[in-house]
Structure 1
Amino acid sequence: MHSNCKHTIHSAQQHFMFCNAHAPAKTVAPGDIVQFEEIDTMCGQLSPASTAADVPGLDFSRVNPAVGPVYVDGAEPGDALKVTLLEFAPSGWGWTGIIPGFGLLADDFPDPALNIWHYDRALAAPTLFSSIAKVPLRPFCGILGVEQAAPGEFSTMPPYHTGGNLDLRDLTVGVDIYLPVEVPGALFSLGDPHCAQGDGEVCGTAIESPMGVTVKLDLVKAENLKFPRFVTHEPVTRHIDSMGYEVATGIGPDLMEASRNAVRGMIERLTRLHKIRPEEAYMLCSVAGDLRISEIVDLPNFVVSFYMPRQIFA
């Protein structure tokens, strides 16, 4: 049996484009553990002292790096790379922002906004959004991906059939994700750590937080996946449903517009209930609420719902 050798990859070993021509940062054996040092999705451009005035000056060529790639011995096209999330090393601070031109409601929110969060590194307590809300913490990685067989460079911003910027909030400690291998060695990278996010990440950012990540890499031979899949070994609820939810819906023939209208409805509800600004409500929706497809078969109209847990305001 393999001894689970442990490897360390430094945060400087990063790239902003997926490309199967990248030289591996590390070569490991199946079953090995890889520790990625503190990863910062903004490459140091934001700090706990930053304000909304810093957002327009961000260099977006230095945003959302993926750290790696890791070459896994024996990985061949048609295999699946099994990635088990073992541990997160949080930094104690994070940020959520509204970036002009980005997010589900970009046309509704043309001005920048920024909220700096401070939290317990032990993750024992929720983080505070001023005096308005208490958001529970559940770290995960936004970027988990392997290289495509296709030549060329592919931005780390969107997701692909081989993974990438999936922004799946349930990819947290203990979860196994399986990625379709298309090139020898798989060439695995990760990045974009978060402390909390709602399903949809509607404003475009979660609680983005520099942190370290430790994973175990293994292989499933000849799985022939078309897209990633993952397995959770415990409930995915964050145990914030004890007081129920406020729910807004969007209904219509276009899923994207229905999604926008569900979020708009929740923003309007939160501003009335809690006397907060629309920008604050939008960011809270992104980090703590869930956008769901409720009905997709009764043509011509679909139903999208936005669920906001009432407990965070208690």
Structure 2
Amino acid sequence: MELAEAVRDETAMAMRLLGHLARAPRGGGGDKNLAVSPLSLHAALALLGAGARGETLDQIVAFLGPAGVRFPGLTHPGIVGTAPSAELLNIWNEREKILAETNHESIKICEVLHQRPLANLPTPENCLLGKIQEGTADWQKIANEAARTIPGRENGGNCDIKNLSRGSKVYLPVFVDGANLSTVTCIFPRDDGEVSFCGAIEMSGFLELKCEIIRGPVEPRFSDWLVFEGISVDESGKQHFLDASVAYKRAVLNAIEYLSRFGYSKEQVYLLLSCCPCEGRISGIVDSPNAVATLAIPTAIFDQDVKPKRLSGKQGPKLRRLPDVLRCSSDGHLPVHRTQAVQRHLN
């Protein structure tokens, strides 16, 4: 309430001044003397965000004019991010420098977008460094290396996500001790994309945040996988035409059959594949008649080595007779099947 009252008092004073200027007699230059300060506009919009009602709201509407549109605000911070590490900062500066030095005629989008330069590189010009005294060695170093905060980057930054409003959660990576989370630019309403570049209506405001540290990565990263393949041929030996569902099912059944050799029951493997971070892919979908699906299982989730082993000792080639070679690998409990061609040959 104290904030709303303070903003209301400031706005009332600005409104009275503007009203006095607007009521100056015509012909005396008063109609050309109306100056609208961005500060008064910010105060008015902040009051709207605080929930202005009644006479105060009528004053604001009268001041802003009958625009013919009315919409609720979606208050949010335009910038929220963590500090980059020195290594990440160097990556930003290097890649953006390469882009800025690129011949813009070689970039197709430059035919319709005329923004120049292509990237905003670190520069002492208009550099704001808080309490660091301008002209000192530290000021010069930071001004020539610190990234401009115009674009969003891997740390978050100026992402301008309008839906990042009350009650939202955002997960940001931490690159330095303490994270150095910062947020600026409170925005009352804006569109997706900010099509006029500076069309968002900014405002003063306070943000109440709750921060927590999540140790380790949010998404697990694995480097070693065991991959199983399936094609569009079902358990009975029937050929299907580019059926990715059949192919994926076969990949899963092949994985179940293989992993059941390591002390797990097939039912256990079946449940494991339903909850472990395995990766399914449609690897081929155009080479008729078979679609190809793969199922990749991270080997790090097992407490034993489940990768195929080479045979120990020196062994030469050996011929093995497999009368049931046509049997599907996952159907050990089902009757052996034969293709129609083999059946005709036997008859």
Same fold (TM > 0.5): no
* Structure 2 length-normalised TM: 0.31
Which is helix-richer, 1 or 2?
A: 2
Larger Rg: 2
Indicate the structure with greater strand content. 1
* Greater relative CO (CA pairs within 8 A, separation 6+): 1
Q: TM-score, normalised by structure 1?
A: 0.34
